[in-house]
Amino acid sequence: MAIVAAMVAIGIILATTGVNLIAIAVLVVLAVVLVLFHSLSVVINREELVAQFGPGAIRKRFELNEIESCQAVRIPWYYGWGIRLTPQGMVFRVSGFHAVQIKLITGKKYLIGTDVPQELEEAIRQNISYH
């Protein structure tokens, strides 16, 4: 949040010193992106797995009974950060190179970035074994 406050302050200074609106618009867009994608949280409950960015405005839900398998994997750097479509499936990540690949019974694959891939894989396996 400190970064957002700093960007808003810079935007105000730029606006009052006569800098064009494009610079202000770029700062506003960057601030919104930082707020929305500053973190990735994964929550598993009895019914679903939820991966959500930042405050939760952007999220993906997976019904546990639709998950066929999961596996800890390493993601190449060129897959980028954020939400991306890759040959290994849709990627959700904010940092690092580790993820858990989820394969649904429909055949679709997703990669969820994490700093603790083995722990997330084990938690998913334990929860999908009940379904």
pLDDT of 46-92, one tens digit each?
A: 899 999 998 888 899 999 999 999 999 999 999 988 899 999 999 99
Mean pLDDT across the stretch 38-47?
90
Q: Name the E strands within the chain.
A: 40-44, 48-53, 58-63, 67-74, 82-86, 89-93, 98-104, 109-113
Based on the domain organization, do 111 and 67 belong to the same domain? Answer: yes
Based on the domain organization, do 50 and 84 belong to the same domain? Answer: yes
123 falls in which pLDDT band (50, 70, 90)?
very high
Q: Is 16 helix (H, G, I), strand (E, B) or coil?
A: helix
pLDDT score of 103:
97
Based on the domain organization, do 11 and 70 belong to the same domain? Answer: no
- Closest CA relative to residue 74, chosen from 93, 49, 53, 48: 93
**pLDDT surpasses 90 at 37:** no
Based on the domain organization, do 21 and 44 belong to the same domain? Answer: no
pLDDT score of 19:
64
Based on the domain organization, do 49 and 78 belong to the same domain? Answer: yes
Based on the domain organization, do 33 and 74 belong to the same domain? Answer: no
98 falls in which pLDDT band (50, 70, 90)?
very high
Based on the domain organization, do 65 and 121 belong to the same domain? Answer: yes
Using an 8 Å Cβ cutoff, are 60 and 50 in contact?
yes
Based on the domain organization, do 23 and 55 belong to the same domain? Answer: no
More confident residue, 4 or 67: 67
**DSSP code for 25:** H
Q: Please give the residue range of the domain that contains residue 8.
A: 2-37
- Closest CA relative to residue 23, chosen from 12, 33, 38, 34: 12
pTM for the full model? 0.75
Overall domain count for the chain:
2
Question: CATH number for the domain including 97?
Answer: 2.30.29.30
